Each structure stands twice: as C-alpha cells, then as structure tokens.
Structure 1
C-alpha cells in the first residue's frame, strides 16, 4: 500500500511537474505574445504620431498656400495699375478693378473675350507682330500705346507683358500690367506750360520770348524778312499797385494782356517779361508807318477807362520800338535798343511811343554816365544848397526862402537842376538828395540865427519818392532834433500832382507833420487836378500859384481870373498864398492889389548861396 502511495506520489509529482512546465510555457507564450503586441502597439502609435506630424505639415503648407493665394488676390485687386491675365490665345481670364476703372468696362464684359474683340486693345493688336516676336524671344514686352476706353475716349497707356511658362516650358499664361498715362501727360503739359507761359496773364514768358526772338532772328538772317520789337512799360503802375493792392493790380495786368492780344492780332509773339513790362514781336512788318499805326492803335486801346472793383482806372504806357538792321543783328542788342527807346518815351511824359535811333543811343549813354556821376556827386559832396528869398507883401521884408539844390560838377561846372532832378527821380537818387537838402537847409537856418539874424522860414521841396518810402515824418523829426531848428521855421512843399498820387497816405503824413509844428505848402497849384474836395482835406498852410499863371497877370484876362480865384479860394480856407515866378513890376502890383501874401521870383532875387542870403537878411535889402 505504501508502495502504491509512492507510485501514486511519483506519478503525481511527474504530473505536477508537467503541469508546471506547461504553465511556464503558457506564461512564456502569453508574455511573448504580450511583448509582441506591445511592440506592435508602440509601432502603431509611432506611425500615428508620424502621420499626425505629416498632417500638420500638410495643413501648414496648405494654410500658407491659401494665405499666399489670398494675399495675391488682395494685391491683384488692390493694385493701382491695371492687371489682366490672358491665356496663350489672348483670351482674358481675369482682370482687376483697376483695369476695369481705366478701360470703363466691367469685369463681366472683359472676362472670356479675346483682346482683339475689344476697343481697349486695338492699338495692341495693330502692334501684335512686334509684341509677339518680343514675347517669343524675351518672354516680355513693354511700350506706350494709345487705346480707347469704353466711352470712345482715347488715352495713353503704358503696357507691360510678361510670359508665364509651366513645368514643361510651355506658355500657360500672359500677364499684362497697364498704367494710365493721362494724369502724367496733363502734369507734364502743365509743367511745360508753366515753363513757357506766364501764369497770371497766359502770355508767353521771358524764356519763351527769348526762344521765339532767337528763332525769328535766325529766319531774318536767312532771308529778307524784317523784324520789329516793341517794349511796353505801364506808366505809374507801381503807384497803382501800392494804392490798390496786389490783387487788383494783378487784375489790371490781366486786362492789359487781353487788350494787347485784341489790339495786335498780327503779332507773332506777345509776352510778359516781368511785372508791368510786356514785349511784342513782329516777325514781319510792312513799314515804319504801319508799325506806328499799330502802336497808336494799341495806346488807344490801353487808354480806355477800366473799372475794377468799383475803381475807374485809366492805363497808359510807354513803348519803345527797335528794328532788326545791320546795326542790330544780335537779339540782345535788339532788346536793349527797344528798352532804350521805351525809357525815352517814358522820359518825355509817357503815354506815347518812340523809335530807337543812334542819337537816342548816344543820349542814353550820356544819361547813364550822368547817373554814375550824380551818385558820385552825392558821396563826394558836390551838391550844395542855394536859397531864393520870399518877400512878405504886407511888411516888405524877407522872412522866408526856398531851398534849391545845385550841382557843381568838377569838369562840367554848374549842372542845371533840369538836367539831373528828373534823372534822380527815375533812379531813386532823389531820396538821398532830398534828405541832404532838408538837413542842410535846417542846419543853415540855425546858423543864421546863431549869427544874430532874425529867424526865417526855410521851405524844402519833397518828392513823391520820399513820401512813398513811408519814413518822411520820422526823418523830419530826427533832422529837427539834430539841428535844433524850431518846427515852425521849416516848410515842406509838395506839388499838386504828387499830392494826389496817393491821397490817403499823404493826408496821414501831412497831419502828423502839422501836429509836429511843421508848415506845409502845395506847390505849382493850378497845374494838377485843382480839386477843392481834396484840398480841404490836407493840413496845409500855404498854396503856391504856379508861375505859368503869374507870367500873364496884369496882361491876360484869363490868367488874371485864375489867379484871383486861387487867392480868394485859399483865403476862404484860411490858407496863405505865395506867387512864384514874379519877374516885373506889373505882376507885383497886380498881386499886391489882390492881397497875395508872399511873392518870389527874379524881381525879388535869384537863388543865391548861403553867404549871400545871409547878407540879404542882415541888410534887409531886396536885390532887384
């Protein structure tokens, strides 16, 4: 039995061992399969991860492509120049809004049509052989065309064509870039116009005038054509500009330009040179008589009354005429000669014309030399002051004198005022001369007083130039302070015509001088406007009757009546009257009878130097 249990035990042990072995095998198999499954799972997970990464990359690429296409579409539509995409047969595949605006066609009217079917591509079609050759050889072409908009309007365009090829190097698309050159052409034309034409008047400017003159000069040299030039300068325009202001003055210039064009339709060129200066060029003229007739017609047109902003104006001009001749084959010389002739016309009073001549050239040279010598005279003290006595008819005494400038030239001797005063006015030198006379007269009046002589009133002539400078009052005040002369011993004279050139500013200046205590006089009364309405507005103390009326008193009833009326009028306004140019006893007796206050003239005394005048005051004697 024990032996039986042993056998059973052994069998059971063997069975258990087999079972253990089988279990181990099963465990190993399970573990093996588990490990293998886990590796496969890891591989699957790795594959999934890699797939996700590739998906993300593809998504990023796709997103970039979408963004690039969106950006390209935005640029395509937002571009300021027109863009058209064509296929190789020149059928329109796409256009942007810019080209739609340029051409006037809607997008739907363009897409799907061949370019040759549309008016907006007909000039390109005409040039198609050249364009196609360039595209075949260089894959591009560019050039300027004149195309039509939908409305039929022609416009210049700049066209650029670019070829797009596929991977097989076959043309897949053609891209066209179109720029509208209309605005640029308008701008270029505007610049060209401003370069050659005066913006205010629309006339040719100085640059274009020079070009036209040179061209005309060349033609005249090659043939027998005659050339004439008119140099036109408006009279007293600066005063008008100062009085009315720049805006109204510009309107005057525009009206003058229109009158020039209407008066001279036969002229080849009408130009505005600068300011109030104009030029008229005749490439061919008939004769001097015809030129004179045309110029007279122009002066007549210019002289017609002109109303601007309620102001009635009368414009006059000085015109110089020069002719192309053997002595003036050069354009610059022709211009210079016309300018000299214009200056001569202005010198003789304006409102007229003058032909250039060699005698005029000689005269102009003399005036130029005289101007330089006058400048030198002011600097070197060649000027001095003479004094012409004024006789008080009530007392029979000399109690005033008019200060008159004289020029002692080192070589020419005494130069008459008539030879240099007008020149000084034209050149502006009159301001320096006027200040010299004012200062010297005030200084000398004080000198006579310091010498024990009775105080007298010295009168100094003013020029319009001094008034326009705007510093007359301060200058007078300064001179009185520096010399010590009492204001009531100074009298300032201004001619009637100068007085009324700039009424409002003169009224203000005269009022300030009157408040300062300075005496004021109107010179040459009766030769200007003689307007009582103006006269009573000026703070003046004396009226001087012009010598042209005094010359005939006592012999001419008209001069008698005018002189009597002026004296009566002045006295009614509490003004004193001075008669100038008294040269004989008949005139003196008449003036005494009419109760004139003061007289001056050769009967009383010629102008004398300061020493001689001091002797007159000391002796109380009138030199006859």
Structure 2
C-alpha cells in the first residue's frame, strides 16, 4: 500500500477547493528514511521542493527497475508533471530523513504566466535531470548532484524565490506574520494620535525577513491580497478592542496597501465592510498608498472615492522617493502626505536639505494635506517640524513599533519624553 494513500484524498480535496478559488494551505512533509513520498503513476497534485535530506527517484518499465538519481536540498521533484499535467513518472523515496515543501499548482501557474526566473529554474532543472538520466542510464544514481543547484545563479534565485513563496503561504495560513504598531505623534496636541501597522515576518532559523523582500514577493503573486486582508483583520480587531476598553478619542491606525491591492476586484468593498461590521467610527482606519510601479490612476481614484465616502482617509506614503511623485498628488486626493524619513534625518545637513523639507511642507499645506514626517529621531528635528507647522511626527523619538498588547495597555502611546 502506498505510504501516501491516506494522504492523497485529503490533498485532492484541498486541491479541488483551490481550483474553485480557495487558497490551499501549504503542505510540509517530513519523511523517514525509506518512506515513499509518491509512486510512479500517482496523480501529480503538486511539485515538491526538498528542504533537507536526500530523495531517490526510481521507475520501472515492468521488467527492470531504473534508478534516476539522488536529489538534495534546493532541488525540485516532478515539476515536469506540473508542466504537462501528467501522472508521476517515477517513485520518490527518502534516502534519509527529509523535509519537503509542496509547491502548489496555482503557484507554478502564476510563475509560468509571469515568465519570471522560476520558470527558467524549473525548465533548467528538468533539462539537467533529463540529460543526467539520458547520459547515465542505470548508473545515473552514481552521478554527483549536490552541486547542481548552485551552478547557475539565476536558477538558484528562482528556487529561493519559490521557497519563500511557499513559506509565506504557510505563514499566512498559520498566523505566522506579526503586525506591530508604530506611534504617530500629533505635534500641536502633544499626544500620540494614531499608529501605523507594520508587518514583521520571522522565519525560524533564518531571522527576520525584510518587509521589502516579502511584500515584493507577495506583489508578484496572488498573495498580496491575502497579506492585505491579514493585516486589515488584525487592525480592525485591535481598533474594536480599544473602543471596547473605552479609549476616547480612539486612535486611528494606518494600513499600507499597494495600488494593486486597492484595485483588486472586491477589495474596496471588503475594506468598507470590515470597518462597518466592526462598528468603527469614521476616520478610525487610514490607508497609506504605497507603490513600486506607476499607478493606474482612474481605477485607484474610484476606489479611493468609494472608501472616502465611508470615512476612510488616505495618505501618500514615502513622498519624495521612488514612485511617490508629484503626479500622484496632482491626479489623486490625499488627506495626508508622508514625508520620507530621509528628509528628516538629513534636514540639518545643509541649507539645501532644509529647503527641500520646507518646500515639501509648503506644497502639502497648499493642497490642503497634513504632513506626517517619518524618521524623527531627535528633539531638534521635532522642534523644527513644530516651527514649520508640521502636524504629525513618526520615528524612534516618538516610539518604536510595538506589539498590540502595548497599544492596548497604553504603553505604546507615551510619546517623546521631553516633547
């Protein structure tokens, strides 16, 4: 009896649900030496990425058994079946204790459609394997394969990206992503008026994954929307707890969303529905628009109008860097402009640096937007912003990103000691 006979029906159920539009949980398999992962002729439900250990592939033509090699960490198994939707062409057996990640059919299709390095990694890995089998015959198992994943930088990059993709899916499924909250200080009122929700993802044994890395990864797949929903759910839950605890006024909390998330069909309605179901007051949720590419202004503007009608305000994030440019301010309406931290950090470096800060503040005020200055780390910076009539400050002087528990206790709202 197949070692995965009991596993396959449940897996097929998850796969069918995914194909009907539901997201399948990432599957990680631990095998003991001699255990069969799948057998020749089994349905090809997914490809497998080896995280640790060795797996041997073998097949039978009815008369003889053929060994096709031993595969190790960083190598993929049976991506060919994912490409042609065929049955398993070989039997995979653990040669030692091993851990593997299931790579979903959906994830592979996304990569194929986008033609990113993952496609090249799969094709090149398949070509290498086929060449090894064809040239080695029965003796192919004796060929060294440990160096294959590292021989091609592009292939290694693709495999690493696919591994991160699977790990991010698992983190979303298991609640492994933490949301922290950095306080935003109302300078004239001399109090913490709100927070920015910041995402933190720690991989066991690998430390923190930079937000820029995993958000970029999520943007390249369908995961950017689930990541946004994940954060929204936690922010709405925290705001509801603060309200129930009697916090008055209720602080606002800003959530970063890319334009891709905003214009995703149904996303705006989901945002509004979450706020209204929770019974939150207008202005409690704020959205910071971030972008790693140029915006498609018309649909973004339509979504912003819909959200604004329901009391949700918008900030243009990281103004002055990257794609957060003047065209955004011209074509879209924002209640807030967030000045990138580089400007506050260097405002005293030269008269030119200070002039740029003053110009950004004057421009934002000229279009009726409040300024939120990021990267405030000293009392001198805060005092200069006060003189320029900047409304809000954010940075280490105000407070570092804190867990939800410290927001609920009020500890995160202390603000600068000598403000």
Describe the shift of the 1:473–1:434 C-alpha distance in structure 2 as closer, same or farther (beyond 3 A): same
1:506-525 equivalence runs, <5 A = 506-525=300-319
SS at match of 2:220: helix
1:366 aligns with 2:160: yes
Structure 2: any 5+ residue segments left out of the alignment? 1-111, 132-149
| Structure 1 equivalent of residue 268 of structure 2 | 473
Residue 548 of structure 1 and its aligned partner are, at CA, apart by 2.1
Task: State the shift of 1:536 in Å.
Answer: 4.0
Q: Give the C-alpha shift of residue 321 in structure 1.
A: 9.8
Q: How does 1:353-502 map to 2 (within 5 A)?
A: 358-454=152-248, 455-495=250-290, 500-502=294-296
> What is the deviation of 1:621?
4.7
Give the Cα–Cα distance (whole angstroms) in 2 for the partners of residues 621 and 330 of structure 1.
Answer: 58
SS of residue matched to 2:347: coil
- Describe the shift of the 1:359–1:488 C-alpha distance in structure 2 as closer, same or farther (beyond 3 A): same
Please state whether the residue corresponding to 1:379 is helix, strand or coil. helix
3-state SS of the aligned residue for 2:301?
helix
- Identify if the C-alpha distance between structure 1 residues 559 and 533 changes in structure 2 by more than 3 Å, giving closer, same or farther: same
**Do the aligned partners of 1:543 and 1:575 also contact (CA within 8 Å) in 2?**
yes
SS of the residue aligned with 1:595?
coil
Task: Show the counterpart of 1:566.
Answer: 360
Deviations 1:112-168 (A, max 9, x none): xxxxxxxxxxxxxxxxxxxxxxxxxxxxxxxxxxxxxxxxxxxxxxxxxxxxxxxxx
For 2:287 and 2:208, locate their aligned partners in 1 and report how far apart those are by CA, in whole Å. Answer: 25
Q: CA offsets per residue over residues 574-623 of structure 1, 9 Å max, x none?
A: 11000111122332222222111101111211101011123336874547
Secondary structure of 1:501's partner?
coil
Spell out, residue by residue over 1:499-544, the C-alpha distance to the aligned partner (whole angstroms, 9 max, x if none).
x420111111111111111111100111246665652442310000
Q: Higher relative contact order at CA 8 Å, sep ≥6: structure 1 or structure 2? A: 2
Give the counterpart of 2:393 among 599, 613, 617: 599
Structure with the greater alpha carbon radius of gyration: 1
Q: Per-residue CA shift, 1:224-271, capped at 9, x if unaligned?
A: xxxxxxxxxxxxxxxxxxxxxxxxxxxxxxxxxxxxxxxxxxxxxxxx
TM-score by length of 2: 0.61
The answer to whether the 8 A contact 1:424-1:430 is kept is yes
Alignment deviations for residues 173-196 of structure 1 (CA, whole Å, 9 cap, x no partner):
xxxxxxxxxxxxxxxxxxxxxxxx
Given that residues 373 and 390 in structure 2 are in contact (C-alpha distance below 8 angstroms), is that contact kept between their aligned partners in structure 1?
Answer: yes
CA distance, structure 1, for counterparts of residue 204 and residue 151 of structure 2 = 31
**C-alpha distance 607-332 of structure 1, shift in aligned 2 (>3 A):** farther
Distance, in Å, in 2 between the alignment partners of 1:358 and 1:618 is: 47
Q: 1:431 to 1:569 in 2, by over 3 A?
A: same
1:8-157 correspondence to structure 2 within 5 Å? none
* More helix as a share of residues: 1
CA distance 1:485–1:332, shift in 2 (3 Å): farther
**Aligned-partner Cα distance in 1 for 2:256–2:400:** 17
CA distance in 1, matches of 2:271, 2:311: 11
1:580 to 374, 381, 393: 374
Distance change (3 Å), C-alpha of 1:604 and 1:426: same
CA RMSD of superposed structures (Å): 3.4
Q: 2 CA distance for matches of 1:587 and 1:473?
A: 37
CA separation of 1:460 and 1:392: change in aligned 2, threshold 3 A: same
Q: Is the 8 A contact 2:301 2:332 kept in 1?
A: yes
Aligned residues: 288
Q: Distance in 1 between matches of 2:113 and 2:206?
A: 37
Q: Any idea what the Cα deviations from partners look like across 1:531-574, whole Å, max 9, x if unmatched?
A: 65652442310000111222211223332222111111111111
Say whether the 8 Å CA contact 2:336–2:372 is kept in structure 1.
Answer: yes
TM-score by length of 1: 0.42
Structure 1 stretches of 5 or more lacking a match?
1-273, 278-316, 334-355
Tell me, yes or no, if the aligned pair for 1:389 and 1:398 is still in contact at 8 Å.
yes
CA contact (8 A) 1:523 1:545 kept: yes
What is the alpha-carbon distance in structure 2 between the residues aligned to residue 436 and residue 559 of structure 1?
38
Paired residue secondary structure (1:444): helix
Q: Residue deviations 1:187-233, cap 9 Å, x none?
A: xxxxxxxxxxxxxxxxxxxxxxxxxxxxxxxxxxxxxxxxxxxxxxx
